[in-house]
Amino acid sequence: MPEIIILAIESSCDDTSAAICVDGKVVSNLTANQHVHEQFGGVIPELASREHTKNIIPVVAEAIKQAGISKNQIHAVAFTRGPGLLGSLLVGGIFAKSFAQAMQVPLIDVHHMQAHVLAHFIDAPMPAFPFLCLTVSGGHTQIVLVNDYLDMKVIGTTIDDAAGEAFDKTAKMLNLPYPGGPLIDKYAQLGNSAAFKFTEPQIEGFNFSFSGLKTNILYFLQKELKQNPNFIDENLNDICASVQHTIVSILIKKLLKASKETTINEIAIAGGVSANLGLRNALTETGKKNNWKTYIPQFQYCTDNAGMISIAAYHKYLRNEFCPIDIPIKARLEF
């Protein structure tokens, strides 16, 4: 049987990424990160689109080069259709459509959040179906019931902010640059997670809420700063450790509830926040106590990357799920 070679492109937010996968194996995966947003405390959509237009051609060219193939060997082109920032998605989407049309190969649209889940099928160990995946990123917090590669159901979601936003907004209050999640993670390792107490929300079912926690942290900092203007500098590690502990505890409690009620013990985490060491350790510990088989992606496949898009596309290719060239890009897109 001939090999199936897929070029995949991811541009939903502020990372421009391209990957090549051959028969379901990621052989190159390149990402250009955008540092232009650091000073603004969040992604500026217009700047993100402009950076994508600068990065997309060199990133794709390098992914093809590193895979050791020529562009004539590509059988299909995949791209993230949504959800994400419209201008950012358009750059990757239009590039993919043009490339596919020029090379006369089929086009595959990929759902960004499904691709985060399918990052677990890039390398072994791979979860067995059905499994639960806690997908935590800058824009989403979901518990997903995964029945098959392309058969997934969101059984819990955030009713306001995402877990990544809780990290990033806390970091902004602490005067740390964007994205603050990795920095909170770094300082948390040096701090005492029991130093400060924050309130965990009581939300029904498998849903999450993080906006109350954000307000709780803001009022706490305002009160402490009134008494001691150096409070943040003097307590940065302990604040980060305590906030991280609270966010992780909220996430893990809902996973426990979902596992109990579905009786599923195959438990995975995915998305940018799954790079968090506190969450990774808590999942492993909770897994040991509850007889779970746990799955944690390699760091390079937690945050946005085209490798995960290529794997999702490979499974769509096997099922002949191609899309028309005029398929619209969607900033909001359900499963």
Binding footprint of Zn ion on the chain (CB under 5 A): 137, 304
Q: Least distance to ligand KG4 from the beta carbon of 20, Å?
A: 20
273 binds, among Zn ion, ligand KG4, none (CB under 5 to 8 A by kind): ligand KG4
Q: Determine the 3-state secondary structure of 126 from DSSP.
A: coil
User: Which residue's CB is nearer to ligand KG4, number 131 or number 167?
Assistant: 167
Instruction: Locate 173 and state its tokens.
Output: 């209050």
What backbone phi and psi angles, to 5 degrees, belong to 17? -135, 145
We find the least distance from the C-beta atom of residue 276 to ligand KG4, in angstroms, to be: 3
* Helices 211-227, 231-262: crossing angle, 10 deg rounding: 160
Phi and psi at residue 130, to the nearest 5°: -80, 150
Q: Compute the least distance from the CB of residue 104 to ligand KG4, in Å.
A: 32
Buried b (16+ CB within 10 A) or exposed e, 131-155: bbbbbbbbbbbbbbbbeebbebeeb
Q: Which option in ligand KG4, Zn ion, none does residue 14 bind, with CB closer than 5 to 8 A by kind?
A: none
Q: Which residues bind ligand KG4 (CB under 6 A)?
A: 13, 137-139, 164, 167-168, 179-182, 185, 271-273, 275-276, 303-304
Q: Are 146 and 127 in contact (CB under 8 A)?
A: yes
Q: Which does 179 bind (CB under 5 to 8 A by kind): Zn ion, ligand KG4, none?
A: ligand KG4
Q: What angle do CA 303, 287, 184 make, to 5 degrees?
A: 40
Nearer to ligand KG4, 22 or 248 (CB): 248
Measured between alpha carbons, how far is residue 202 from residues 113, 122, 335 in Å? 25, 36, 26
Which CB, 127 or 138, lies closer to ligand KG4?
138
Answer with the entry of ligand KG4, Zn ion, none that 10 interacts with (C-beta below 5 to 8 A by kind): none
Nearest Cα neighbor of 105 from 80, 79, 72 is 72
User: Which residue has the closest beta carbon to ligand KG4?
Assistant: 272
Radius of gyration (Cα) for the chain, nearest Å? Answer: 20
The tokens for 118 are 């399918």
Partner interacting with residue 106 (select from ligand KG4, Zn ion, none; CB below 5-8 Å by kind): none
| In the complex, minimum distance from the CB of residue 297 to ligand KG4, in angstroms, rounded to a whole number | 11
> Min. distance of Cβ 137 from ligand KG4 in angstroms?
3
State in angstroms the smallest separation of the CB of 135 from ligand KG4.
8
Nearer to ligand KG4, 17 or 99 (CB): 17
- Closer to Zn ion at the Cβ: 114 or 294? 114
What ranges in 40-141 are assigned the alpha helix state H? 45-67, 86-103, 112-118
Do 73 and 5 contact (CB within 8 A), yes or no?
Answer: yes
- Tell the smallest beta-carbon distance from residue 165 to Zn ion (Å): 13
**Which of 209/303 has CB closer to ligand KG4?**
303
